């Protein structure tokens, strides 16, 4: 099953000035972008919304808004595409359903190996004591 696609009309882009060095042009041109995506108001399926809100990601605010800042490229369209791709990667991560772990018992061989290693380690430690002379 393919993960749901983020509708670009539900995403708000705000052009901002990029941080860091870049010469005189960096102070005049707003090439970086802030992406804002409201999870609750989106058309994503409800289970995906719930998993997105449950992610421990600093880009997701307590109000359920995803904020992504993209400033890697020197052009606004490339930064917009980069921010949208990162949002889609976040949605892809939330759309994967992990299979629950079924508890199993250790095999007989695994128990024997563990007990053998314990006995060997105990013998090593017992050999470190003082020698008793009779």
| Residue 36 belongs to a domain | yes
Closest among 52, 61, 1 to 34, alpha carbons compared? 61
Residue 3: other Cβ atoms inside 10 A? 16
CATH number for the domain harbouring residue 88: 3.30.160.20
Domain range holding 21? Answer: 8-95
Note the pLDDT of residue 30: 83
| Residue 81 belongs to a domain | yes
Q: Provide the domain count of the chain.
A: 1
Say how far residue 131 (Cα) sits from the centre of its chain: 56
Assess contact for 99 and 90: CB atoms under 8 A.
Answer: no
For the sheet containing 11-16, what is the strand order?
11-16, 32-38, 65-70
Polymer length of the chain: 134
Alpha carbons 37 and 31: distance in angstroms, whole number: 19
**Cut 0.85: pTM above it:** no
> pLDDT digit of tens for each residue in the chain (134 aa)?
688 889 889 999 999 988 877 667 767 788 899 999 999 899 999 999 999 999 888 999 999 899 999 998 888 999 999 999 999 999 999 998 889 999 999 999 999 999 999 999 999 998 898 877 87
| Tokens coding 122 | 């105990």
Q: Which residues, in sequence order, are bridge partners of residue 13?
A: 35
């Amino acid at each position: 099953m393919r993960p749901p696609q983020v509708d670009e009309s539900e995403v708000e882009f705000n052009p901002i000035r990029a941080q860091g060095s870049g010469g005189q042009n960096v102070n005049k041109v707003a090439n970086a972008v802030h992406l804002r995506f409201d999870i609750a108001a989106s058309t994503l399926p409800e289970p995906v919304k719930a998993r997105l809100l449950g992610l421990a990601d600093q880009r997701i605010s307590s109000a359920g808004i995803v904020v992504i800042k993209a400033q890697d490229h020197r052009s606004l369209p490339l930064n917009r595409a980069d921010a949208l791709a990162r949002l889609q990667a976040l949605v892809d991560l939330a759309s994967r359903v992990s299979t629950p772990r079924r508890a199993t018992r250790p095999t007989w061989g695994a128990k024997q190996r563990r007990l053998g290693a314990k006995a060997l380690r105990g013998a090593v430690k017992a050999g470190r004591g003082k020698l008793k002379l009779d």
